[in-house]
Structure 1
Amino acid sequence: MKLVLLMGSPRKNGNTAALTAPFLEECERLRMKTETFWLYDKTILPCLGCKTCQDRMDGLGCVREDDVAALFEAMEGSDAIVLATPIYAWYCTAPMKALMDRVVYAGTKNYGREKGPSLLRGKGLATIVTCGYPEEKGADLWRAGLRRWCRHSGLNWQGMLCGRDMGPGVPFLTQDKLAAARDFARALIPKAGGEDL
């Protein structure tokens, strides 16, 4: 099984990276192949809404020349996609939102002269998030948006791991969060790959 993790945090030593680290360690321990992309290190231009992508049925077909084609290729080559992001203003960070706009649109051929395929159909989609509010008040809109993307594009929703930051002076990465990150990785195996490990 191959998993691609798209990291939407601008901080390589921040809370989202801290919560993702034990998740990835557990994935590797379980012999899952993983690949991580830091989106703030990539050039991800916003969607133009030109619909050129809708006339190419066998690929992304976007007119933008940036790093999205390579990111999409990695997503297509995976069994599961994990979006890791801090929650800013009740949703993901800017580069992740720009990537999603492009991938949702160009990856699902619903808007052209003829209806075509969803290029990511059947892949698992999960998310790892950090926020300052309880999950039901901080990450609920993000989860709802991802579940709708899954329904729209034929992805398989695999769930959300949310770590709350309790504020200054309170350690973020607790034993409970470490255990939850490892459990989340183990839970993805039967959902995404169906492999008997």
Structure 2
Amino acid sequence: MKIVTLLGSARATGNTATVLGWVEDELRTMGHEVERINLTKKDIKPCLGCAKCKESETEINCVQKDDAEEILKKMIDADATLFASPNYFWGYAAPVKALMDRSWSLVTNYHKPNHASLLEGKRQALLLTGGGVYENNAEGLTFAFNKLQAFYKTQNAGELFIEKCTIDGNRPADAQERAIAFARDMVA
């Protein structure tokens, strides 16, 4: 399986990157092709809401020329995409949110009988890290992710939240074990 991972954390060795690394290592061990894209190193402009992208059901068709189109093409070409983000103020990190907004260009005719998506049938998963517990913290992100699956017409391949992470790299003792199990479940 060809899998694209989208890292939204600016901290190359932080909690999100570390947990994502464990997931990626397990996926590779299982024989999958994994490509990590560090979104913080990419130029992803915010969506303009111009709707030019709605003029085509078969192309991305965004008027903006930046790194988003290349990333979206990789998502289309992959069998699965894994979004990885720290939980910042009850939301996704800015690069993840910007790419999600730009992914509007992948879908046409939402809420209509001819709803089409360039990602239809693909698998997508979500990995989150945060300092608090899930309740009153990360559930809004998973709720939004599930709504995104309906929009994309994709299959939810799993969600993992690693709680109680600290800025100095402390995580729950079972974080690596949970990341490995998540990787296995994601491709099952």
Name 1:150's counterpart in structure 2: 149
The question of whether the paired residues in 1 share the 8 Å contact of 2:14 and 2:167 is answered with no
Partner of 2:118: helix, strand, or coil? coil
Residue 83 of structure 1: aligned partner:
83
Structure 1 residues 186, 75: CA separation in 2 closer, same or farther (over 3 Å shift)?
Answer: same
Q: How does 1:15-26 map to 2 (within 5 A)?
A: 15-26=15-26
8 Å contact kept, 1:19–1:173? no
Query: 1: distance between equivalents of 2:146 and 2:116?
Result: 19
> Aligned residue for 1:40?
40
Distance across 2 between alignment mates of 1:10 and 1:91: 15
1:169/1:84 Cα in 2 relative to 1: closer, same or farther (>3 Å)? closer
Per-residue CA shift, 1:17-39, capped at 9, x if unaligned?
Answer: 11111111100000011000000
Query: How does 1:29-178 map onto structure 2 within 5 Å?
Result: 29-103=29-103, 105-110=104-109, 115=114, 117-167=116-166, 171-172=170-171, 174=173, 176-178=174-176
Instruction: Flag structure 2 segments of 5+ consecutive residues without an equivalent.
Output: none
Q: Report the TM-score when normalising by structure 1.
A: 0.89
Equivalent position amino acid for 1:135 in 2: Y
Which amino acid is the alignment partner of residue 122 of structure 1?
A: G
In the superposition, the TM-score normalised over structure 2's length comes to 0.93
Is this contact kept in 1: 2:163–2:172, CA < 8 A?
no
Alpha-carbon offset, residue 161 of structure 1: 1.0
Describe the superposition over 1:64-93 as per-residue Cα deviations: whole angstroms up to 9, x where unpaired. Answer: 010011001110011111000000011101
C-alpha change, 1:73 and 1:155, in structure 2 (3 Å) is: same
User: Helix, strand or coil for the counterpart of 1:85?
Assistant: strand
Structure 1: distance between partners of 2:72 and 2:168: 39
Is the alpha carbon distance of 1:106 and 1:15 closer, same or farther for their aligned partners in structure 2, counting shifts above 3 Å?
Answer: same
What SS does the corresponding residue of 1:61 show, helix, strand or coil?
Answer: coil
Q: 5+ unaligned residues in a row in structure 1: which ranges?
A: 191-197
Retained in 1: the 8 A contact 2:7–2:83? Answer: yes
CA RMSD across the alignment: 1.7
Paired residues of 2:15 and 2:165 also in contact (CA < 8 A): no
CA positional deviation for 1:168: 6.5
1:37-77 CA-partner distances (Å, limit 9, x unpaired)? 00010000011111100112211000001001100111001
Code of the aligned partner of 1:52:
K
What's the secondary structure of 2:31's corresponding residue? Answer: coil
Q: How many residues align?
A: 186
Q: Given residue 24 of structure 2, which amino acid in structure 1 is its aligned partner?
A: L
C-alpha contact 1:57 1:116 (8 A) present in aligned 2: no
SS in 2 for 1:36: strand
SS in 1 for 2:13: coil
